[in-house]
């Protein structure tokens, strides 16, 4: 099993496999509007992290699915990352996960049974840590290894945190450092050392369970998690949902230390270029923003951090909550402003 490199069995890895945002938007245009379902509180209308369906006055069901190809070679770590990433969508809605189902596609002729077992064990370990039963799933024989979860959760209908609720003047807080895609690319090239790998795993296997607590704060107006579209892509979704603009201060971004030099060398996933092309004129960079910073802003994050739009008078409370749950890198990175749904990036 040690001789198998999972990342060599797939054409992409992690959330870098996601279809580019502009192309995805074109694909989804053909979907009919979700009319006639009054209890569907969140659907596809604002590209939110999960669907939400009201069960009664006190409970709404949060439903999501997320899966991808390997971002690392270690099977157990791959399972852990994929499961952490899938559960994050429930937390990003302010929910509490209650149940998970596994999605499994494996090249049975190429991958030892022991490796598959370790992938499944990694996912199960994360579900156990989250207090969620992994109650079944579905598997197929596939040409590339794929793993993920269907994740279900509960949230009070009045405490749903959509990605469209930001208000002008809100402060933007990011919970995890950027650079996951860059480090994964370095790993695939054989360039990542043990400390860099530790940074990658620590970031991608930390559950965003703080989202459940953030849902209890009235000053948290919008919430999403940063994944395959990069920080800028998911911030644009907040802007479009709220009909507001945003300003990001590149110098305040929390970054994985090992990713900085690799980004300076131009190392990163192909998703960076796809993301930047998709943003078009909706993202404007100051000339002083370095190319490597632009790379990290568009870097495809796998199991990335929560991005919150917070009332200015609640920022200290939100930062304290993040740090109390182990998110030491959580930082203020910008603000929401009245204006067109665009992002201005300043040095």
Closest CA to 171 of 119, 121, 244: 244
CA angle 333, 338, 341 (to 5 degrees): 75
d(CA 44, CA 231): 20
Q: Which stretches of the chain are assigned E, i.e. beta strand?
A: 40-42, 51-54, 60-68, 96-106, 134-141, 146-155, 171-174, 220-225, 245-249, 283-285, 306-310, 331-337, 343-346
d(CA 276, CA 283): 9
d(CA 340, CA 249): 18
CA angle 53, 16, 288 (to 5 degrees): 110
d(CA 229, CA 232): 7
Going by their DSSP bridges, the two strands 283-285 and 171-174 should be labelled as: unpaired
Query: What does the block give as tokens for 295?
Result: 């790379």
Closest CA to 52 of 93, 86, 96: 93
Query: What does the block give as tokens for 286?
Result: 């100051």
Burial class of residue 216 in the structure, from the number of CB atoms within 10 Å of its CB (0-12 exposed, 13-18 middle, 19+ buried) = exposed
d(CA 1, CA 245): 49
d(CA 12, CA 68): 9
Q: Is 15 a catalytic residue?
A: yes
* Cβ neighbours for 216, distance < 8 A, ≥ 6 positions apart: 159
Taking the CA atoms of 171, 330, 327 and 193 in sequence, report the sign of the dihedral they define. positive
Of these residues, 15, 17, 127, 239, which one is catalytic? 15
Q: In this structure, are residues 18 and 228 in contact, taking their beta carbons and an 8 Å threshold?
A: yes
Instruction: Please list the active-site residues.
Output: 15
């Amino acid at each position: 099993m040690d001789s198998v490199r999972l990342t060599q069995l797939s054409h992409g890895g992690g959330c870098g496999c996601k279809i580019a945002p502009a192309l995805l938007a074109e694909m989804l245009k053909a979907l009919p509007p979700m009319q006639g379902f009054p209890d569907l509180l969140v659907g596809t209308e604002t590209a939110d992290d999960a669907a939400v369906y009201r069960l009664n006055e006190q409970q709404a069901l949060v439903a999501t699915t997320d899966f991808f190809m390997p971002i690392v070679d270690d099977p157990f770590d791959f399972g852990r990352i994929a499961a952490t990433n899938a559960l994050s969508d429930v937390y990003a809605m302010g929910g509490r996960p209650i149940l998970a189902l596994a999605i499994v596609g494996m090249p049975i002729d190429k991958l030892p049974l022991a490796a598959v077992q370790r992938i499944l064990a990694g996912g199960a370990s994360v579900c156990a840590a989250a207090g969620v039963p992994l109650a079944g799933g579905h598997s197929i024989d596939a040409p590339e290894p794929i793993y993920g979860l269907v994740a279900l959760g509960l949230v009070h209908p009045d405490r749903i945190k959509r990605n469209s609720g930001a208000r002008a003047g809100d402060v933007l807080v990011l919970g995890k450092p950027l650079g996951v895609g860059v480090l994964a690319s370095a790993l695939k090239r054989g360039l990542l050392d043990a400390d860099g790998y530790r940074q990658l795993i620590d970031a991608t296997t930390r559950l965003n369970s703080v989202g459940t607590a953030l849902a209890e704060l009235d000053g948290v107006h919008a919430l999403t998690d940063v994944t395959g579209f990069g920080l800028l892509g998911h911030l644009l979704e907040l802007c479009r949902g709220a009909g507001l603009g945003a300003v990001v201060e590149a110098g305040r971004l929390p970054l994985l230390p090992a990713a900085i030099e690799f980004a300076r060398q131009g190392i990163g996933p192909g998703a960076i270029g796809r993301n930047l092309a998709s943003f078009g004129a909706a993202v404007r960079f100051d000339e002083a923003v370095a190319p490597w910073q632009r790379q990290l802003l568009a870097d495809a994050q796998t199991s990335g951090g929560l991005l919150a739009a917070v009332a200015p008078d609640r920022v200290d409370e939100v930062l304290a909550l993040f740090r109390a749950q182990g998110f030491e890198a959580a930082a203020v990175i910008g603000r929401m402003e009245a204006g067109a749904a665009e992002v201005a990036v300043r040095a």
